[in-house]
Structure 1
């Protein structure tokens, strides 16, 4: 199932476009001498579409949306008050009272920064457009002094033979090389010093220029200029403009070579050399011979071979496959939310489903997803999270008529409090009246059940414990550190030092120190088990 939208954010257009530039450049580097010359202008055209058109086409091969500071995202720091002040006293029947307060911090740009970015982008766009416009204006002024070539039988015959008799040809004493200028009404301009008596040279020049017109090279360059104006900050786009100009010339040469005899190649190469302009003048504003490309183009002309059926078929496959990958490889930001957190008395596991790509799922998608998940959980007899995940994906794929890979699942151990306490009792873990765990009657300072997502800490205690479970959620062992153990004492010193510096330190149970978020001094944290009131 494909989902088409026209809301791709500009930063993602630039990101995906940049990735495409790199891919096309790699293909160009390895296959340039083996594929027909028009292939790469076509691929650059696909890149320009990605850079300029805000479409998003989601497919099974779409890449995940990258996280960027410009996206609306936030992270929260959790501060928990000291249980010594907030916990309910024993005997009141309201144990486990912990007060939570949330201080949200945001990664998104503040309004001032957003305004500054918009201003900077606008200035860069305006300056780039202004510079390009001034260059174009200056060159247009030079061409205004051109003289129309009339009653030249040689030129008129060449134009008519190529079906372009309506094209006007001018001469100009301020240009050094033939060029084509104009979009809706293209015109050919020849340097005044050209020898019109050399019919072969004149034929090569006009054939080349007419091929530029027929291939709409100037249209492609106008689109490239628009991309440069909008993506002026991106060096890859400027690099692409250079490659595009070179590939357009190579494709034009190949079009000319298909019209002339093999014996005439050397003469065409000589004509190319004689008409090449001096210097490294940009050719994006018009289509002209370029001296910087002459050596490469002459080698290509002399080594030119007609395209075989196999190479032509390979080229078609490359362009078509590139079109599919480029069009559907990226997607715009979307809501990944799909289902509620679903749990059942028939299973030890809870499931929440989300979307891996942008899909139109129809009405009541959330309720339909919940029903599909509950059907799997109620019928499950394995209590195997991997089996449950595969069955849930299959059920969702059947319900929404998409591939299983379109869904992301979180499958977590989900037990009632009574079930947890019964399991813990077999391991010697009980809960005191104050809500803190005891291990064989000793106060637990740090407790962790990673698979259950449960953690409890307090400043004092003589035991640190970690509950270890297998892939099916069954307790298989306990990691116990008691007061007097080397690791326990080292952790105690770190905890004391962290209190003095108003920080928090967490540990894995092999004694390795890890960083943790800043928490208030002498805090008590309990992230309880997932008591969801199973349905």
Structure 2
């Protein structure tokens, strides 16, 4: 367990440096399309998912030689501790503390997963009597704002008392979420957060991921509906964002951004130029090369 915790710690530290680079790149490319920000968080997810990485002289990650040898040491430590115990000695205090921290980490991850399961079950119980409107769109009297629930067979849930003028734009927004796969990316992001819950940088990353997903979805809808419907879409945002946090019981509703920022983003939307998109793609490639690889380990004779 201690070796696993150290491995996760190493991955989390490396990903934290990548997050700092992502935050800087977001500031430099604020005119880039919003999907670019979501793509950046995808690169962070890759760094958090894969426990191995190739070495490259182009890597910008600092060396973490203090953690890597510790993983190897912990893997061989139990045998040494057993020998010491047999000889009447005692286990190393550092090893004992590391074992305690590992179990605390595991308990925290289990608590977050349990919270997710309970919240999702409670939300499903709330909408169990929802009435189908059409397709995968349902209406319920027990919710105050629309949302998407489910991963394999996702459903769109709408409040019964929704203005008919807002419904068109709300459905367009939620369907854009499904086409973009946001109902999969948000739970994946939350799952990674449960593994790296001890790292404050990962909490910040998840909140920003949720915000960027919503902004990118708004951008997609405006591009499809046309800029002439901006005012109606913004009105739908204002109407349906009231008391939205009251249903934030599952990861899909966690960390949603304020309506003011989304309205401002819709108002200022402009179709990105070819050169901005090209620059964003190049930036993603450079970021991946420099931060998805580890620095070349120093070899002493």
TM-score where L is the length of structure 1? 0.48
Is structure 2 residue 246 aligned with structure 1 residue 278? no
What whole-Å deviation, never above 9, does each CA across 1:352-397 have from its counterpart, x for those lacking one?
Answer: xxxxxxxxxxxxxxxxxxxxxxxxxxxxxxxxxxxxxxxxxxxxxx
Q: Which position in structure 1 is the counterpart of 2:34?
A: 37
Is structure 2 residue 168 aligned with structure 1 residue 170? no
2:146–2:170 contact (8 Å) kept in structure 1:
yes
- Structure 1 outlier segments of 4+, above 3 Å: 69-74, 108-111, 279-284, 287-290
Q: Which position in structure 1 is the counterpart of 2:149?
A: 181
1:35–1:315 contact (8 Å) kept in structure 2:
yes
Q: Which position in structure 2 is the counterpart of 1:479?
A: none
Is structure 2 residue 226 aligned with structure 1 residue 228? no
Shift of 1:335: 7.6
1:205–1:271 contact (8 Å) kept in structure 2:
yes
Shift of 1:171: 0.6
What whole-Å deviation, never above 9, does each CA across 1:43-99 have from its counterpart, x for those lacking one?
Answer: 01111121122121111123453243673499xxxxxxxxxxxxxxxxxxxxxxxxx
Is structure 2 residue 86 aligned with structure 1 residue 123? no
SS of 1:60's equivalent? Answer: coil
1:21 to 19, 22, 41: 19
SS of 1:71's equivalent? Answer: helix
* Whole-angstrom CA distance in 2 between matches of 1:210 and 1:289: 20
Shift of 1:299: 0.9
1:218–1:287 contact (8 Å) kept in structure 2:
no
SS of 2:54's equivalent? Answer: strand
| Greater share of strand | 1
2:187–2:252 contact (8 Å) kept in structure 1:
no
Structure 2: unaligned runs, 5 residues or longer: 1-5, 74-91
2:131–2:138 contact (8 Å) kept in structure 1:
yes
1:179–1:288 contact (8 Å) kept in structure 2:
no
1:225–1:284 contact (8 Å) kept in structure 2:
no
Q: Which position in structure 2 is the counterpart of 1:420?
A: none
Shift of 1:280: 4.0
Shift of 1:115: 2.2
Shift of 1:304: 0.8
Q: How does 1:366-385 map to 2 (within 5 A)?
A: none
- CA pair 54-116 structure 1, distance change in 2 beyond 3 A: same
2:113–2:194 contact (8 Å) kept in structure 1:
yes
* Whole-angstrom CA distance in 2 between matches of 1:316 and 1:69: 33
* Whole-angstrom CA distance in 2 between matches of 1:117 and 1:64: 24
Q: Which position in structure 2 is the counterpart of 1:325?
A: 290
SS of 1:188's equivalent? Answer: strand
What whole-Å deviation, never above 9, does each CA across 1:298-317 have from its counterpart, x for those lacking one?
Answer: 11111110111111111111
- CA pair 123-47 structure 1, distance change in 2 beyond 3 A: same
Q: Which position in structure 1 is the counterpart of 2:10?
A: 12
What whole-Å deviation, never above 9, does each CA across 1:297-344 have from its counterpart, x for those lacking one?
Answer: 11111111011111111111112211212212x259x6824x4xxxxx
* Whole-angstrom CA distance in 2 between matches of 1:123 and 1:285: 19
Q: Which position in structure 2 is the counterpart of 1:51?
A: 48
- CA pair 325-245 structure 1, distance change in 2 beyond 3 A: same
2:136–2:155 contact (8 Å) kept in structure 1:
yes
Is structure 2 residue 286 aligned with structure 1 residue 294? no
TM-score where L is the length of structure 2? 0.83
Instruction: Name the larger-Rg structure.
Output: 1
* Whole-angstrom CA distance in 1 between matches of 2:288 and 2:21: 12
Structure 1: unaligned runs, 5 residues or longer: 1-7, 75-107, 151-166, 340-535
- CA pair 236-289 structure 1, distance change in 2 beyond 3 A: closer
* Whole-angstrom CA distance in 2 between matches of 1:190 and 1:27: 37
Is structure 2 residue 299 aligned with structure 1 residue 336? yes
Q: Which position in structure 1 is the counterpart of 2:83?
A: none
* Whole-angstrom CA distance in 1 between matches of 2:36 and 2:9: 28
1:212–1:218 contact (8 Å) kept in structure 2:
yes
Q: Which position in structure 2 is the counterpart of 1:192?
A: 160
Aligned residues: 275
2:210–2:254 contact (8 Å) kept in structure 1:
no
Q: Which position in structure 2 is the counterpart of 1:207?
A: 172
| Superposition RMSD in Å | 2.6
What whole-Å deviation, never above 9, does each CA across 1:16-68 have from its counterpart, x for those lacking one?
Answer: 11111222122224433x11000011101111121122121111123453243
Which of the pair has the greater relative contact order for Cα pairs under 8 Å at 6+ separation?
A: 2
- CA pair 143-289 structure 1, distance change in 2 beyond 3 A: farther
| Greater share of helix | 2
Q: Which position in structure 1 is the counterpart of 2:130?
A: 146
